Chains A and B, each alone.
Chain A
Amino acid sequence: MSSKDNSIDSVPEESSQDSSGDALQDEGSSSGRKARRIHPLAILSFVAIIAAWQAASIFLGETVGYKRVPGFEDVFRSFIEYAGYWQGGLGAESTRTGAEPTNWGATLGLGHNTFVTMLRTIAGYTIGVVTGVGLGFLIAWSKVARGLLTFPAHLARMMPLLAMIPLFALWFGDSQLGVLTFIAFAVGILLFAITINAIGNVPLHYWQYARSLGASPLRTYARVVFPAAFPQLRGGLLLAVAFSWSAALAAEFLGQQVGLGHVLQSALYYASTDVVALTGLVVILFAAVTYLVANKTLAWLTRWAE
């Protein structure tokens, strides 16, 4: 066979070394390393924010019994307040029984509330992704589903999300289901719109090619349209990670007795801006971690993309 000679084609460098796909992962990680390099201006902006915050706390000062802008010292000192959010056990008694707050109790209080919020976020996010993406694919697939669901789905997308919190409170009370439903709703309606758009952008020739190879419409949809649309879903899935944290905190205002949203609600009630700020920092930290994990996972899942 005359064409056995590969020299007729210029093999890209990465494949001439290794065609197993590892080369691609190396390439991905090398570009990842590039992305991780911190720009000097980013450090400058970070320092500027810290300085501005500290300056605001000094110059705005204390107003009517509480710090409008707590300084860093206040924020870090407020850590002990988390002991009040620990219900007792594991060597730290609840402060509600009159026990003195301890750093261990505060650690457990912060850990427990963060863990609960994170679990709710992950569960709500997962349900929202499955529902939103699933609904998007169903509507794009079926004329009947399109006729039935397009209008209500778009109507739901237009609803002001935060204004719906009282409605969810009325429907679900302070139940776990209410929190999960709210997060899933917030994530789902976002991803529904992105999915419809992503499917619309899948080139027609992919469909035609798969059908001409003998694939059934269902196989074509599952094995061709879905993966072809996936890179376009990636941005939406990442956006929804940050969104789900916000939704989780908002949902925990629905009278939940545990969770970072509950901590924020109590801290606001007592005007503890230092606890609010510390909780905000914790949320930023965990949201960033989940974002990075999601980003890495999605980058791996779309490692084939050009």
Chain B
Amino acid sequence: MQDVDGSGAMSQGGSGEHARRTRSTDGHPTAPRDPSPPAIELRSVTKTFVLESGEDLTAVRDASLTVARGEFVCVVGPSGHGKSTLLNLIAGFIEPSSGEIFVNGAPVEGPGPDRGVVFQRDTLFLWRRVAANISFGLEARGVPKQERKATVERYLKTVGLEGFAGAWPRQLSGGMRRRVAIAAVFANEPDVFLMDEPFVGLDYLRRAQLHRVLLDLWAEGGHRAVFMITHDVDEALALGDRILVVKEGRIVESVRVDLPRPRSTYMITGEEASAIRRSVVLHFGDLEIA
């Protein structure tokens, strides 16, 4: 059984050592040491789908994983190798065929507001204006109106969309919609953020801007763990405390990214980052590119 813990080491059995709880000079939390239950814990989780043809397809195989509170974990791997299935299992959208999943020590039984999900697809409610989109989760949880209003204003400011509270989603550009989606999930203050390629399709500059937004929101949150799927190793290097490599349904690698924050382009193209990048991409095979 693979067991990938919050310290970045792979071990056999158990949930492993809980990661350090420290803060870097810019206030971003880094992998903390905490006696309380980890943010996310998977114990020997397997998910098998039955195809229309009657054949079985195992998307996640015997995965064990511990994500510490406040830890930012990026998940990379080839398409169709089980990354999104892993996220859907933690979100509670699907049930594991075997194994157990815990969030903050509690077993996952369906979706819930303790796990905010930013989807790859645009999930903004088109019939609600920007402010109403951000307050949806707060309304659902019965937060009083005045408090909702203040929270929405704060998050609109954080993502730089103060002037767009009354706009319909269709009036926003792709990057602005992403910001609203991220703000809506962060405003709901979940314990864990699950993100499935949230910046896919955006150009380099917009991605960099949104990374800043995401890290600012994460810094504000303090003890919230992030589990983010990406195809971009550079993005994982820019954001993550740790990079997991998922291949053929298995977590085959867990690499700690010990670069200080904030991370510059220079840092994520430097020698240390290159070594991490190499260890990650070699899992995809030694491809002949040209």
Contact = CB atoms under 8 A, between A and B. Distances in A.
Interface of A: 1-6, 8-12, 14-15, 19-21, 23-24, 203, 205-206, 208-216, 219, 223-224, 227-228, 230, 303-306
A19 B171 contact: yes
B115 A212 contact: yes
A11 B126 CA distance: 17
A8 B213 contact: no
The main secondary structure of chain A at its interface with chain B is helix
Contacts of A2: 209, 212-213, 216
Contacts of A8: 175, 205-206, 209
Nearest to A204: B93
B110 to A, nearest CB: 8
B179 interface: yes
B127 interface: yes
Most chain B CB within a 10 A radius of its CB, from A3, A4, A219: A3
A199 to B, nearest CB: 15
A214 B191 CA distance: 13
Contacts of B213: 1-3
Interface residues of B, number: 52
B44 interface: no
Given A11-B176, A223-B136, 20 more contacts: A3-B213, A5-B209, A6-B176, A8-B175, A8-B205, A8-B206, A9-B175, A12-B173, A15-B167, A203-B121, A209-B119, A209-B123, A211-B111, A211-B112, A212-B113, A212-B116, A213-B140, A214-B112, A227-B127, A304-B170
Contact of B171 (A3, A14, A212, A230): A14
B125 interface: yes
B188 A213 contact: yes
Contact of B136 (A4, A5, A14, A215): A215
Contacts of B8: none
Interface of B: 91-93, 110-113, 115-117, 119, 121, 123, 125-129, 136-137, 140-141, 157-161, 163-176, 179, 184-185, 188, 205-206, 209-210, 212-213, 216
B176 A212 contact: no
Nearest to B177: A9
Contacts of A212: 91-92, 111-113, 115-117
Contact of A213 (B165, B176, B184): B184
A295 B186 CA distance: 38
B169 to A, nearest CB: 8
Contacts of A206: 123, 125
Contacts of B141: 214
9 contacts: A3-B213, A12-B172, A24-B170, A205-B121, A206-B125, A211-B111, A212-B116, A228-B127, A306-B126
A208 B117 CA distance: 9
A9 B205 CA distance: 10
A14 to B, nearest CB: 6
Given A3-B210, A227-B127, A305-B126, A213 B136 contact: yes
A214 B135 CA distance: 12
A9 B173 contact: yes
A251 to B, nearest CB: 35
Contacts of B174: 9
B189 to A, nearest CB: 10
Given A206-B123, A212-B113, A213-B184, A3 B140 contact: no
B186 to A, nearest CB: 11
B152 to A, nearest CB: 14
B123 A19 contact: no
Contacts of B210: 3
A201 to B, nearest CB: 14
Contacts of B128: 304
Nearest to A302: B127
B166 A219 contact: no
A40 to B, nearest CB: 33
Contacts of A9: 172-176, 206
Q: Which of B127, B158, B209 has the most CB of A within 10 A?
A: B127
A213 B170 contact: no
